[in-house]
Structure 1
């Protein structure tokens, strides 16, 4: 072969010739590094969120409406951990798992992220009621109501995402232009509905509710500094202090969530829902999924009970009789 002769493209399926997609060629070191990074993120996401799921499910003291919402968020984040596994298969631009698994990956990622968005909205509502109406919080926000809201959130997310991806579910692989591709088509109407239901409406609710919570927190702090305390309201003030502390902790979760979510939808909006820059698209969707790893990391720093639970789980103390009744708060 002469030095100036064009190199033949490396194909995903060489035996299929021109009907095969082209493989992305990277150096061995870069390919190994990407595999290590994505594998580590996947393992950590699954492991840390599994610890959250086990902790809240096992210890009865943690069976509160707020923690049930954290449990729902952990389940969605746990699912995203497996989406990272599928992303590893696309590092070289080739999909070898078949059209069915391609659709499954898209449905799993869509439902999990949609459910996490809905759960964060519920968390914001929970904190709003706890801080702005503490006297009626116990009656308005009960365990059963929290469970019902979580079930409705997951059911609604599953139904909407399946309808959005209906064409792909009914005919897997019909939108692939070559063998080894994993292409998902979403109708323009579905994209617009997804924008409103998964971004504009939820973000608006979250921002409005947390602005209100922040205003109450500021006024409460001012009242405490000026020592304006009525004896008859002392108990409600104590409730407010604990609820405000919880609101601040969950506020960190919400803010980090918004920082990871917003770039993804901004890229979609600025590109007119068309993927014009693959690199930027991969980065923002990776950032979106990376939030699933950050949530349990935040719990480690902000929740002492989670650190205690992790020690109990890793030391296998949860296997002891009566361990579920332990006071880890």
Structure 2
């Protein structure tokens, strides 16, 4: 009986001050471990392929792809650091100390916020490409995109440290027992600045993109003669831009489906208990988004499938492989 009681505590030697473990069926625990481990490995490998593809092949060095590269980096870090750390919290006993607990949350916030801001940048990029195609090349340049990506990560760092600064000064001050990993953040500010504001921006921009894309698609299918168009020249968006808008629209839609449930629970003032089955499911949903993005690229972007083939077959190790014409390989 004593062994069973000790097994209920994170630190049996600190019987009076130790946190209790959540009792969960072994089959459920194994399922969580297997799913999280699989997603972690899959996320790292797939996003690493995206990073190598866009970084290596010069023809893929476009403003849109630089934003996708930034998104792939944040997704890669989710698979490499955040998901493995989340597995440690399924007990939920934190054995790595109070300082690493705060740093874990800080890294988590940085990566998640960077993903959100990258989605905003994607929406802005598609908005300009579809709604103002004549000025796209002058407004969305590689230098401006690189600056925006840098500002995205800088904002994520500052934003995250702003929320964990109080906990960083005295790690563990909000823990009620040993083995707990808790920090204090302003929930309202987090929801407004980290979710409502950027998500509203994404939705509004993509609704505008959707309306314009539909009208342009109808215009391309119509049988308007060149004579009728002489009086008022209409600029139609290229098919490639419409396809990119559709593809990135799927990325944004999947992102919203993965992230919205977690924040909807926060908005409903319902608390998620760390280590509970509901918290594990919400985390699984959020982190699975990092794994789904490369799969969307593989499904919609032929250049990604071709680049993966070149990487897997080690053809990228050949001299001048970075100058490969990816688009000629389409045919």
User: Shared fold (TM-score greater than 0.5)?
Assistant: yes
**Cα displacement string for residues 175-217 of structure 1 (whole angstroms, at most 9, x for unaligned residues):** 111111111211x3xx222212221111111111111111111
Match of 1:179 in 2: 178
Q: Judge conservation of contact 2:36–2:284 (CA < 8 Å) in 1.
A: no
Equivalent residue in structure 2 for 1:209, among 194, 201, 205: 205
> What stretches of structure 1 move > 6 A for 4+ residues in a row?
231-235
Work out whether residues 21 and 93 of structure 2, in 8 Å CA contact, stay in contact via their aligned partners in 1.
Answer: yes
For structure 1, which runs of at least 5 residues remain unmatched after alignment?
none
What is the count of residue pairs matched by the alignment? 321
Check the 8 A contact 1:79/1:108 in 2, yes or no: no
Aligned to 1:76: 74
Contact 1:79 1:109 in 2 (8 A): no
1:195-274 superposed matches below 5 A: 195-228=191-224, 230=226, 236-237=235-236, 239-271=237-269, 274=271
- Aligned residue number for residue 308 of structure 1: 306
For residues 281 and 31 of structure 2, what CA distance do their matches in structure 1 show?
A: 16
CA distance in 2, matches of 1:113, 1:280: 20
Any idea what SS the aligned residue of 2:15 has?
helix
In structure 2, how many angstroms separate the alpha carbons of the residues matched to 1:158 and 1:319?
35
- Report which stretch shifted further, 96-105 or 5-14: 5-14
For the 8 Å contact 2:90–2:280, the answer to whether it is kept is no
- Residues in 2 aligned to 1:142 and 1:253: alpha-carbon distance in whole angstroms: 22
TM-score after normalising by structure 2? 0.91
How do 1:33-52 and structure 2 match up within 5 A?
Answer: 33-52=31-50
- With normalisation by structure 1, the TM-score equals 0.91
Inter-partner Cα distance in structure 2 for 1:318 and 1:6: 57
Task: After TM superposition, give the deviation of residue 251 of structure 1 in Å.
Answer: 0.4
- Summarize deviations over 1:148-191 as a string: whole Å, max 9, x none: 000001101110111111112222222111111111211x3xx2
Instruction: Return the alpha-carbon distance in structure 2 between the equivalents of residues 77 and 285 of structure 1.
Output: 14
- What is aligned with 2:120? 121
For 1:283 and 1:27, the matched residues in 2 are separated by 15
The 1-side partners of 2:120 and 2:300 are apart by 20
Q: Which one of 29, 43, 61 corresponds to residue 63 of structure 1?
A: 61
Distance 1:297 1:229 in 2: 41
Cα displacement (A) at 1:29: 3.7
The correspondence of residues 160-175 of structure 1 with structure 2, limited to 5 A, is 160-175=159-174
CA distance in 2, matches of 1:267, 1:28: 27
Segments of 5+ residues of structure 2 without an aligned counterpart are none
Q: Distance in 1 between matches of 2:255 and 2:100?
A: 28
Which shifted more, 45-54 or 22-31? Answer: 22-31
The answer to whether the Cα contact below 8 Å between 1:267 and 1:281 also exists between their aligned partners in 2 is: no
Q: 2:288 — aligned with what?
A: 290
Are the aligned partners of 1:48 and 1:293 in contact in 2 as well (CA < 8 Å)?
yes
